[in-house]
Chain A
């Protein structure tokens, strides 16, 4: 899982509550990413950030929000507007750069269950 930590590993929330998932990296990477994984659907990109204080929506950003105030940290908030929040959430980071082809390094994931 490299130098990326995600906490907590398991998270339980009641419907209607916002919840924030932590992601920290010590790889000195500029780019960070959040994915959602559901069975049979692979990984879907929620948000990504190429640099501090900048982030972009991915394919399924609705109901989620992020911040990137520090290079090392990229927290994800799952809001009450997310209709199906129960999933496995993965954070990743990589070297950034135009026309580059660097692999992403993944954290261990957070399994969120909302009831």
Chain B
């Protein structure tokens, strides 16, 4: 079955410290992985994606993610957290069983709180 797991509902980190938001996946075929961020009462904003190539993907707002095939993980990272990074983060994987559209399976989300 294709799915995404975000094992932590909540992550707290002090401002200036590095942050990691975890994601593991299960997919048929090649994994196409995405990270999105959601601020309160807003839509999701795309941060970055992994399609192929380098395992370290760089995205918007200083975020990056590391793809690890052997561990089936795609953790989101940032070297130095900002208070403004506090939001809900979603990991997603493309549904490879659907052709044409780009259907995604989303994780349940991780709420990141950066403490001043």
- What residues of chain A have their CB less than 8 Å away from a CB belonging to chain B? 1, 4, 6, 31, 33, 35, 40-45, 48-51, 56, 58, 88, 90, 92, 94-109, 111
Number of interface residues of B (CB under 8 A): 24
Tell whether, in the assembled complex, residue A97 and residue B106 are in contact, meaning their CB atoms are under 8 Å apart: no
What 0/1 pattern do residues 26 to 56 of B give for CB contact below 8 A with A?
Answer: 0000001010100001111110010100000
CB neighbours of A51 from chain B (8 A): 100
Complex contacts, A101 vs chain B, CB 8 Å: 32, 49, 51, 94, 102
B contact set with A: CB distance below 8 Å: 9, 32, 34, 36, 41-46, 49, 51, 90, 94, 99-104, 106-109
A102 to B36, CA, bound (A): 13
Residues of A within 8 A of B100 (CB): 31, 50-51, 96-98
Q: Which residues of A contact B102 (CB under 8 A)?
A: 31, 94-96, 100-104
- How far apart are B63's CB and chain A's nearest CB, in angstroms? 14
Q: Which of A31, A35, A109 contacts B41 (CB 8 A)?
A: A109
Instruction: Give the secondary structure class of B's interface.
Output: loop
How far apart are B66's CB and chain A's nearest CB, in angstroms? Answer: 18
Bound CA–CA A99/B96 (angstroms): 8
Q: Which of A4, A44, A48 contacts B101 (CB 8 A)?
A: A48
Given the interface contacts A1-B42, A42-B108, A109-B43, does A103 sit within 8 Å of B101 by beta carbon? Answer: no
Considering the chains assembled together, what is the distance between the CA atoms of A33 and B43 in angstroms? 13
A49, B101: Cα distance in complex, Å: 7
| Contact between B43 and A98, CB atoms less than 8 A apart | no
CB-based contact A1/B43 at 8 Å = yes
Q: With the chains together, A109 CA to B41 CA distance in Å?
A: 7
Known A-B contacts A103-B49, A106-B43; A40 and B108 likewise in contact (beta carbons under 8 Å): yes
Q: How far is the CA of A102 from the CA of B100 in the complex (A)?
A: 11
Which of chain A's residues have a CB closer than 8 A to the CB of B32? 101
A46 to B37, CA, bound (A): 21
* Closest residue on chain B to residue A97 by CB atoms: B100
Question: What residues of chain A lie closer than 8 Å to B104, measured between beta carbons?
Answer: 104
Question: Are B101 and A41 touching (Cβ within 8 A)?
Answer: no
